[in-house]
Amino acid sequence: MQLIGSVSVIAGAGVGVGPALAADKLRIAMVVKALGNGFFDACHDGGLEAAKELGNVDLIYTGPTKATAEEQIAVIDSLIAQKVDAIAISANDTNALVPVCKKAMGRGIKVISFDSGIAPEGRIMHLNPSNNALIGAKCVQMMAATLKGEGDVAILSATAQATNQNIWIEEMKKEWAKPDYAKMKLVATVYGDDVADKSYRETQGLIKAYPNLKGIIAPTSVGIVAAAKAVVDAGLVGKVYVTGLGLPSEMKGAVLAGATDTFAIWNPIDLGYTATMIAAQIAEGKATGAPGTTIHAGRMGDIKIGDDGSAAMSDPFTFDKSNIEKFAKIF
């Protein structure tokens, strides 16, 4: 009898897979930054879903006990010895893992990275959870939906030098320039330096400086929590709304209190599902993973690989009162 979507879990770097797996099954290893992390446990759930859907995949979920490149290298060496078909890895170090991943590819193992990338020479392709344009647009769209497209809005960022934050803000401004948002005005951009206390104080400053303020966008998981707390403490729930990027476990209180209507972050279940789908198709020869090509990733649709060898999975996933309880238990 053939097992469908069976799983082997490796608890550490040097542990074997156990009983020999069916020869006609693809063995796909999902290597995470560290075991015991709720985000990656959710990725594992998505990987199991993909394996079950594909029917010919044994998913090996593994990673080190500590999030170091050295321990991930040991895990990959073990997988090379086991002659797995493919590895999908969230890297602890962009460059340090290149030699061992090149070694794996030299042995015929297909290597992709997801979430946290390996340098291009160490993998076939990289799967980003989303991309800059999608993230920036999503932040503006969420605020516009809450405010019905009208009102003064400010941005609370991390540091003024944060590359990703600055790119996301520029993408927000591109979205904001569309006629749809003509009545929603950006009044200020401030920086909380990804420090909770400073982000809280910056929010207080915005509330004082802009009495007609209706919304705050914080594309930082530290800033969004601090801003929501400041709104609650000021008694402005229902008058000022906070959105942006955050973790469900940290934002549950703000959502249930009404300070946040919606916020977003990438869905780790979808991420694990997509990474497993892509790795399996490359391992089976149904896709190459080459720049400019497209891979169909089941329910996540077609994933286009850019000229730089990376792809974006989808829009950031939206959280609100309808799903916050569920996801707050996951990550």
Q: Read off the pLDDT of residues 23-70 as tens digits, 9 standing for 90 and up.
A: 589 999 999 999 988 889 999 999 999 999 999 999 999 999 988 999
Q: Which CATH number fits domain 132-265: 3.10.450.230, 3.40.50.2300, 3.40.50.2000, 3.60.20.10?
A: 3.40.50.2300
Does 137 score more than 70 pLDDT?
yes
Q: Would 7-129+268-313 and 132-265 be classified into the same CATH topology?
A: yes
* Tokens 């930082």, residue located: 220
d(CA 77, CA 301): 33
Sign, CA torsion 330/66/161/135: negative
Instruction: Render pLDDT for 155-171 as a digit per residue (tens, 0 to 9).
Output: 999 999 888 899 999 99
pLDDT for position 4: 27
Q: Which residue in 72, 60, 77 sits closest to 26, CA to CA? A: 60
Q: Which two tokens stand for residue 259?
A: 């300070």
- Any idea which architecture 7-129+268-313 has in CATH? 3-Layer(aba) Sandwich (3.40)
Task: Please state whether 263 falls in left (phi above 0), alpha (psi between -120 and 50) or beta.
Answer: beta
Q: Bigger pLDDT: 43 or 3?
A: 43
pLDDT for position 10: 37
pTM confidence score: 0.76
Element (H, E) at 172: helix 163-176
Q: Bigger pLDDT: 266 or 210?
A: 210
Q: Within 10 A of 73 (CB to CB), how many other CB atoms are there?
A: 20
Q: Domain segments of the chain: what residues?
A: 7-129+268-313, 132-265
Does 20 score more than 70 pLDDT?
no
Are 72 and 115 within 8 A, CB to CB? no
pLDDT for position 23: 54
Are 270 and 22 within 8 A, CB to CB? no
Sign, CA torsion 15/16/19/23: positive
